[in-house]
């Protein structure tokens, strides 16, 4: 009971209308959606109220991007495919965002900055009591074998079972705090830099009581199916 007034959400159409909103919303039923493109530039409060959202197919998780948002109490099962960058089961790009008591599952296939819960964090973000079992696959192929754009010679996967890229943004304080969270999904990449929990860290990160148990696989040759374990989870 936070004494705030919430707008009830019970349909996919209502979910789609939340882009560019700063309001307070409460999910009052389970929802299944398809051909999902994600809620973008959300800056309000989204309370999943213990409900589940199933994304049958889409290019983003529930939120494409958030800024100044609070996301809590929601379960997302997503089939995300053919994505580019900043993709997560719950949030793609989270800026100055707080996430609490939420769970993601399913699969995520994209290029880079991919995370089971959040693709990229920037600014001051706090994530507490969350769990991801998303299987993450970074399909970007190294330019060294001629299968990627030449202007991306320093390209990396930045894929993680929980967070893909704990990034930084100039002009603002960049701190990521994660409390009591876990990731169990495997991470597979065609190129470099991946982690079972966080793929790459560029900001100040504090982890408290966090666990990951997924495996991380890399394609050493950049061609074919030459995957080898980079890290084996506990």
Alpha-carbon span 223 to 198, nearest angstrom: 25
Taking the C-alpha atoms of residue 61 and residue 77, their distance in angstroms, rounded to an integer, is: 9
Q: What integer pLDDT is reported at residue 234 of this predicted model?
A: 45
Question: Per residue in 40-95, pLDDT tens?
Answer: 999 999 999 999 999 999 999 999 999 999 999 999 999 999 778 999 999 999 99
Is residue 37 within 8 Å of 64, Cβ to Cβ? Answer: yes
Of 115, 140, 87, the C-alpha closest to 201 is 115
What is the average per-residue pLDDT within 144-171?
A: 74
The reply to whether the predicted model has a pTM over 0.85 is: yes
Question: What pLDDT, on a 0 to 100 scale, did the predictor assign at position 151?
Answer: 45
pLDDT at 141 over 80: no
Q: pLDDT (tens digit, 9 = 90+) per residue, 180-226?
A: 999 999 999 887 788 999 999 999 999 999 999 999 988 755 554 55
Read off the pLDDT of each residue in 90-107 and give the average, rounded to a whole number. 98
Q: How confident is the model at residue 230 (pLDDT cuts 50, 70, 90)?
A: low
pLDDT of residue 166: 95
Lowest mean pLDDT among 52-61, 138-147, 161-170: 138-147
Residue 148: what pLDDT? 47
| Averaged pLDDT, 166-172 | 91
Q: Where are the beta strands (DSSP E) in 48-179?
A: 52-58, 63-67, 70-72, 75-80, 85-88, 91-95, 98-100, 103-110, 112-115, 118-122, 124-128, 131-132, 135-138, 159-160, 163-166, 175-179
If one compares 169 and 23, the residue with the highest pLDDT of the two is 23
* Mean pLDDT score of the chain: 89
| Mean pLDDT of all residues in 123-137 | 97
Q: What is the per-residue pLDDT for 225?
A: 56
């Amino acid at each position: 009971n936070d004494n705030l007034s919430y707008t009830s959400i019970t349909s996919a159409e209502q979910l789609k209308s939340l882009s560019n909103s700063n309001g307070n919303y409460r999910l009052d039923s389970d929802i299944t959606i398809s051909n999902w493109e994600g809620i973008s530039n959300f800056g309000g409060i989204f309370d999943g109220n213990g409900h589940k959202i199933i994304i049958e197919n889409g290019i983003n998780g529930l939120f494409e991007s958030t800024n100044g948002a609070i996301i809590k109490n929601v379960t997302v099962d997503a089939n995300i495919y053919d994505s580019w960058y900043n993709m997560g089961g719950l949030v793609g790009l989270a800026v100055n965002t707080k996430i609490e008591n939420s769970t993601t599952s399913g699969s995520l296939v994209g290029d880079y900055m991919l995370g089971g819960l959040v693709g990229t964090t920037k600014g001051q973000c706090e994530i507490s009591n969350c769990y991801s079992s998303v299987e993450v696959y970074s399909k970007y192929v190294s330019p060294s074998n001629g299968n990627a754009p030449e202007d991306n010679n320093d390209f990396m996967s930045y894929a993680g079972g929980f967070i893909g890229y704990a990034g930084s943004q100039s002009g603002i304080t960049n701190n990521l705090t994660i409390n009591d969270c876990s990731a169990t999904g495997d991470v597979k990449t065609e190129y470099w830099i991946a982690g079972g929990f966080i793929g790459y860290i560029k900001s100040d990160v504090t982890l408290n009581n966090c666990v990951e148990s997924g495996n991380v696989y890399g394609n050493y040759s950049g061609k074919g199916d030459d995957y080898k374990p980079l890290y084996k989870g506990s």
